[in-house]
Structure 1
Amino acid sequence: MSLLDAVRRRRSQPIVTAEAPSHDELLPLVTAAACAADHGALTPWRLIELRGDARARLGTALAEASRAEAGDATKIAAKPMRAPLLIAVVVTVQPNPKIADWEQEAGAAGVAHMLSLLLDDAGWGVMWRSGQLTRSQPVRVLHGLADNEQLLGWLYVGGRPEREKPGERAVFPAERYLSVL
C-alpha cells in the first residue's frame, strides 16, 4: 500500500480493544515520527505513556479540574479508561529568537499526527483527544509539566475491534482549499 493510500484510509478510532502496543513497539514509531518538520532541530516536544493506574489518576485530575457534580465527575473520570494506552503529547517551548512559540507547537502537533498515522498503519486504533481540561492545573501537575510546557492532548491507542472497518469518505474538495497566487 502506498503512503497516499495509507493516509486516505486513516480514520479516528473512538472505540478500541484492550490490546495496546508495548513500550518497545512504540520506540521505532516514535523514532520515525520524529522526522516531522522541526524548524531549527529543537525537538520541542516530548511524549508520556499512560497505562494502567496512570489513566485512573488522569481521570481523577480531569474530574478535579472540571469541578463537576458527582455524576458528571464519574463520567469525566472514566474517559481516560476508554483505551489501554494514552500517549500525552507535550510541547516544550524553547526560547529561540528565530523560532516562534507557535512554530514549536506546530512541530509538536506534527509529531503527534505523524505518530497517529504510524500507529494506524501498524494496525492500532488511534484517536487524538483533547478538550477544555487539557491545560488545567490538575492535569498539568499530573503530567509533571514544566513552566515552558503545554499539553496538546492524548493519543488514545488500542486494538481495532474486528467489526470496525473504515468506511468510504466523500472526496475532499481540494480545489476549494488550494489556491494559486
Structure 2
Amino acid sequence: MKFFSDPVLDSMAARRSVSKVGPETPSDAELLELLAAVTPVADHKALRPWRLLLLRGNNRMKLAHALDAAQGIEREPGEYNPKPFRAELLIAIVASPKPHPAVPEWEQHATAAGAGHLLELALWRAGWGVMWRTGLFANSPEVRAAHGLEDHELLMGWLYVGSIDEAFRRRIDASKRPSLDPHQFIGKMP
C-alpha cells in the first residue's frame, strides 16, 4: 500500500494495530536503537516525563497475578491470567511528571503518550507488530505495585510487541483501505 512518495509517511499511513503478534521480538539493543527516534518527542522544558519498562518472561506472570488481584479473581493452581501472554514482549509506558510551574501535569502525560506512539511507529517501521493495550485495572494499586510506580506516576498502558504473521502482512500490503478524510479533523476557531 502506497500513499506518499516518502517511505516514512507511507509507513505511518499503513500502520495497523496487530492484536495477535508472533513470538519473535526485538532485542534490547534493537529497542535502544529505535528509542533514538523517540527521544525527540515534543517535550516542553525538556522534562523527559516518561519512562519505559520491558516485561519479558516471568515479569509477565507477575503482571498476570497483579491483574487478577486487582479484579479479585482467584484461579485454580496452575491457572493464570492469559492477557500478559499475548506477546513475548510488553513495553509499559509510564508517565512520570516532574514538578514545573510552566508545564502542567496533563501536558507531561501528553508527552508520555507521544513517546509511546512514536515508539509504536518506530517498531512498525522496523517490521514489528504492535498493539497498545490498556484496561480498567492498569492503574489499580496491585498493578502499580507490580511495576514499581511512584505515587505521581501513571501507567499509560503496554505495547504488546512481536513478529507479524506473513499472511497478515500480505493482507495489510494488499489492503485498499483508504486513509480517513483529514478534513474532518481540521476546523477554525469561531
TM-score after normalising by structure 2: 0.89
Matched residue SS, 1:15:
coil
State the partner residue of 1:57.
62
Match of 1:122 among 119, 126, 132: 126
Structure 2 residue ranges without an equivalent (≥5): 1-5
Q: Is 160-169 or 130-139 further displaced after alignment?
A: 160-169
How many residues align? The count is 178
**Correspondence list, 1:18-167, <5 A:** 18-68=23-73, 70=75, 77-165=81-169, 166=172, 167=175
Question: What is the CA deviation profile of residues 97-149 of structure 1, one whole-angstrom value per residue up to 9, with x for unaligned ones?
Answer: 10000000000000000000000000100010001010001110010011121
Equivalent position amino acid for 1:159 in 2: S
Amino acid at match of 2:114: G
* Aligned residue type for 1:59: A
Paired amino acid for 1:28:
E
1:174 correspondence with 2:182? yes
Task: Structure 1: give runs of 5+ residues left out of the alignment.
Answer: none
Distance 1:154 1:68 in 2: 21
Is this contact kept in 1: 2:8–2:125, CA < 8 A? no
1:4 aligns with 2:48: no
- The equivalent position to 1:14 in structure 2, one of 19, 25, 29, is 19
**In the aligned structure 2, how far is the partner of 1:78 from the partner of 1:106?**
30
Query: Residue 82 of structure 2: SS of its match in structure 1?
Result: helix
Q: Which has the larger radius of gyration?
A: 2
Give the superposed CA RMSD.
1.5
Question: What's the CA shift for 1:180?
Answer: 3.0
Q: What secondary structure is seen at the aligned counterpart in 1 of 2:37?
A: helix
Separation in 2 of the partners of 1:27 and 1:176?
A: 36
Q: CA contact under 8 A between 2:13 and 2:179: conserved in structure 1?
A: no
Larger displacement relative to structure 2 (162-171 or 29-38):
162-171
**Of 162-171 and 113-122, the range deviating more from structure 2:** 162-171
Deviation digits for residues 37-67 of structure 1, max 9, x if unmatched? 0111000000000001111110110011111
**Deviating runs (4+, > 4 A) in structure 1?**
none
